[in-house]
Each structure stands twice: as C-alpha cells, then as structure tokens.
Chain A
Amino acid sequence: MSVESVWFRRVLWAQLAVLVLAVSWLFASNLDTLFPAGGPFAGGILSRADFWRSLNLSVLSATATALVAAALGIPAAWALSRRTLAWHRGADILLGAILALPASSVGLALVLLFQYGPLDWLQAWLGVRVIYTLPGILVAQLVLALALGLQAWRAAFEALDPRLELTARTLGANSFQAFWRVALPAARPGILAGLVLAWLRAMAEFGAVLLFCSTFRELPASRFGELARWLHVDRADLLAVAMWVEIEFGRVEAGMGMAFALAMTCAACVYLVRLNGGRIRGH
C-alpha cells in the first residue's frame, strides 16, 4: 500500500469525522435550552397532556399514512415495474417533480383540488369535507409519502433477478402468485425500506398540513368525534406544528423539547432500519 493511499484514506475518514461532528453539534448545541435556569425540563412539556396527544397524533397519522401508501403504492409499483421504458421515464420525472415541490405549493394545490372542481362537487354530493379535518392530515401526508414509497418500491422490484419470475412462470404461477409468493418476499428489504421512508416523510410533513388543515389544539373537545377522543388525538396538532406554535409564542424551551422529541423518533427509526440490514437512500 503506497504512502499516498494511506494519507488519502485518512483524508476520507477525516471528512467523515467532520461531517459527523458538524451534524452532532447542530443538535448538541441546543441541549442547554432544554435545561433552563429556574424552569422545568424542556419547558414542562412532559407533563402537558397536549404534548402527548401531539406525539400520539404524529405517530398514529404517520403509521396510517404509511399503511395506506403501502396498500396503494406496492401494487402500483409492481404494475409500473412491468411497463415499458416510457412509463419508467415518465414516472421518474413525475415523482421527482412531486418530491421537489415546496410544502406550501403542496398545501395550496390540495386546497385548490379539494375546494374547486370535480372533487368539490363530489364532496358536496357526499356531504363530507376533507379540508380542516383530522383525515385531511392523512391526505396531506399521503401525497408525499406515497411518492417517496413508489420510488423506493419500484427500485426494489426493478432490482429483482428476472430469472426468479421466469422460473415461477415456468412452474405455472399466474401473475398474482408471481407477485405474492416470489417477488414480494424476495424484495422484502427494499419494501420495508420504502415503508419506513414513507413513514418518515409523513412524520416530517408540516407546511402542507398548515395550509390544508389549519390547527386543532384550541378547538373544544366536543368538536371531535368518538374515535378521535378514544385514540387521544383530539385537541392536538402534529408535533412539528405544535413545535412551531410554541416557538411563535416565545416558549423556546418547549419548542426545543418537541424538536428533540421529533429528532429522536426519526433517529430511532433510521437506526432500526439499519440494524435490520436495510439502507435508506434518497430523500
């Protein structure tokens, strides 16, 4: 091994160390805000019922969104993987564009879609409204979580060895069996990674929910249905939204506490995926 190689490798490790240190410091430099002099830990959020309801709402809605995204997206990704190249390129551009949209444009487009045009008439006919409701949160999260999931699941199916399916066909399997018994199990790490990516993206949703659903914390309990109260998601905003409200009111300790709660939840998720051998790439 030459001298330059050794030095080069050290430079690479050093770069990595700098990256890790910079990111760690971004988070660690805020730890002292959690312990204000003369005040409770993290502004006392741990003893506030609305904090736990917010956490609940974030986790439950992200989970629900990820499951819906999986139900819609995994079959759709499978269908996409069997299409022509033109479909793939189109999907590439479309999904890339959706994922590059700012959250405010996503929220605005949702308002326009649901309050004007065909979806507006449909809702009027059915007598329901999605805007400014808890299910609206799911819709807002779903737009991006589904797009991210689709990218990941398509890649997972694409990476499969075509011979697996060929063999299955030769043995008499129809297309559903080829999907359910061959492709899905074989692509399992990629499928799970896509699921987690969708969950994380749903947890990270903030701007679109603000524009499409507004806030829920100050509404009276009577305004929410039985289910919402039983799940303890009534009178709560998403954790990211609640964090923003706290910062706006000047309660920086509480906002920082919520920020850490979010960061730790996401970190735990990413770490668990790696523990199981998966890897998360991309957005």
Chain B
Amino acid sequence: MKRRIAAFLVLLGLFLGGCARQEPPLLFHAAAGQRSALDEIGAIFEERHPGTRVNFSYKGSGYFLPDLVRSREGDLYMPGEEFYFLQARDRGFINNYDPVADVPAHFVTVLITPKGNPAGIRRLEDLARPGVRVGLGNPKSCAIGVRQEKTLRRAGILEAVLANTRMSAKCIPELGNAIQHRGIDATVVWSSTAALYLRDVEIIPLEPRYRAVVRLPVGVLTVSRDPARARLLKDLILSPEGRSIFERHAYAVDPGPVDEEGFCTGPGPTDLLMQRLVEAARVTQDPTLEVDEKTLGPLVGEVLRQRASK
C-alpha cells in the first residue's frame, strides 16, 4: 500500500515537473468562425517549425478585450471584424496596423436554412414572416451578431425578426449547429461557417445590398512574449499560400466594391463565391453528382471531405 502511494506521488511529481518544463506555445486569439482555416495554417506552421506549438483560443469576438485586459497574455490576434481589431489597437495591444497589407481575407454573409428549407425561405425579408424560427448571434459577444443587426436594420425588419428569434448564440458555430440539427429555420452566417455544414444546409445568397464583406486583420500583440516567432506565423497567414487556404474555406480574398458600412454596392467577386457555395452544397448532398473543380473552384477539398463521412 505504501509503495503504491509512493509510486503515485513520484508519477505526480514527474508529470507536474514535465508540465513546468514545456516550452510555452504561441497563444493565438482568434474568432470562433476562423477555426477551419486557422487550424490548417497552424498545422502547416508547426510542421515547418518543429518544436513550436500554436495554441488557438477561439472565442466570440466580444470576449477578446476583457480577456486581454485581464490576462495580458497572447501572441497573435485575429478577431471576426476590423472593429474589434481597432478596439485592441486603441487600448495599446496592437502597433503598426497596415489596413491594406494586414488583411489576408474577408468574411461574406450568406443566408442558410436546414436541408430541404422547411420554412421556404427565399430572401432576407422572409425572416420576418410570422412563425419562422430565426437564430441570431448575440451582438455583445460575437461579430456575426453585430453584422446581423446592421443587415436587418438596413432591411427595416429588425423588430419583426427579433420577435421570431428562437436562439441568441454566444458565437457563430452555435448557429451552424442549430441549423444542422434543424432547431431553427434560418439564420445569416459567414460563408466560411456555411461551408462547414455543406451536408445539412441549403445556401441562399443575399442580394448585394444586404451582403456584407467584412475585413479580417491579423496582428502580433504588444504583450507577446515571442514576437519574432509570432511574426513568422503572421507572415505565413498573409502569404499567397495562407490566402489560398482561406479561399479553400470559402473566405473572400478579393472583396470587390464595398460601401462604408461594409455592404456590397453591386456585382463583384463575391458573386462567384456564392455560386460556388450553392453548388458545393448541392454536390455534397447528392452522391450521384460529379465533383467538378471547374464549378467548385477552391471549395473542392471541403466537398470531398464532407462527402467522405459525417
């Protein structure tokens, strides 16, 4: 009995000692909607720099500032909208922000419904129809919530849609899940989130005046303990290789013409993204259809992955 106790204590000591000796990973604060692309980029970075680990802390964008102020820990930052980046810059967490060079990709909004579109949603205004179960993001905690509010206000249907709201999500993946499980009838999400659920959603592109294109800057934090390595990761994200990874996850690298509020002013490159997204959902759901790189573009990889299994 005593020997067993001693053995446990030795194990415990070794374990804790081992924990203390590990090299601290790079801490990357990123918006919850960025996970698909950043995980892939992080894996490539770790492969190229053995011994370095990247720890992604995915949250709703509204939680970043309180966390940064309280913990003062972190190496990189890529929130779900430029607004949160500027917020951090104004608090002294970011230096030298270049609005042109430091933005690798953009989010684009799109309407999604569960497969089969049970409520028959065709356009944004349908969300205000009585009886439609809508999911919205909480504007205080996630970037999509703020953008949904702006979009609905622009369409003049904010009050009506709020009355239809069944869930108020802390972060965007909750909305995607709710659609997947048919807990809600419709919601507006980023195209990159919609691309995660190709098996279970129907994609309905928004008309340009309601379609938002959101800038996603990335930066090294001033409180970083390893700014040199952090900068290497940032460079990877901003490189052509990094941008192609974003394209593969249905981000828009080229936003096209956009007004001051962030909405499209007319036809642009996002139309092609929308076409491809609709096609991708169609092809993933129907195993008899052929996977054609010409129509799907960079989304081919996602379609193949999601066709393989649940």
Contact = CB atoms under 8 A, between A and B. Distances in A.
Contacts of A214: 167-170, 174, 178
Given A215-B170, A218-B140, A223-B165, A249 B184 contact: no
A149 B183 CA distance: 30
B66 interface: yes
Contact of A250 (B70, B133, B138): B70
A250 B69 CA distance: 9
A129 interface: yes
Chain B contact residues, majority secondary structure: mixed
Contacts of A217: 168
Contacts of B168: 214-219
A131 B63 contact: no
A132 B183 contact: yes
A111 interface: yes
Contacts of B261: none
Contacts of A115: 181-183
A220 B134 CA distance: 13
B181 A248 contact: no
A242 to B, nearest CB: 12
A222 B160 CA distance: 10
Interface string A136-175: 0000000000000000000000000000000000000000
Nearest to A248: B63
Contacts of A245: 170
A220 B165 contact: yes
A115 B170 CA distance: 21
B163 interface: yes
Contacts of A251: 66
A252 B70 CA distance: 10
A215 B162 CA distance: 15
A250 to B, nearest CB: 3
Given A214-B178, A222-B162, A248-B63, A132 B184 contact: yes
A222 B158 CA distance: 13
A32 to B, nearest CB: 16
A115 to B, nearest CB: 4
Interface string A204-230: 000000000011111110110000000
A67 B178 CA distance: 30
B282 interface: no
B66 A249 contact: yes
B176 to A, nearest CB: 13
Contacts of B169: 214-215
A132 B133 CA distance: 11
Interface string B135-172: 00010110000000000000000000011011111100
Contacts of B167: 132, 214-215, 219
* In the complex, the 9 A-B pairs of residues with the closest C-beta atoms, listed nearest first: A250-B66, A218-B168, A115-B181, A218-B138, A131-B183, A220-B162, A214-B167, A132-B167, A222-B163
Interface of A: 111, 115, 129, 131-132, 214-220, 222-223, 245, 248-252
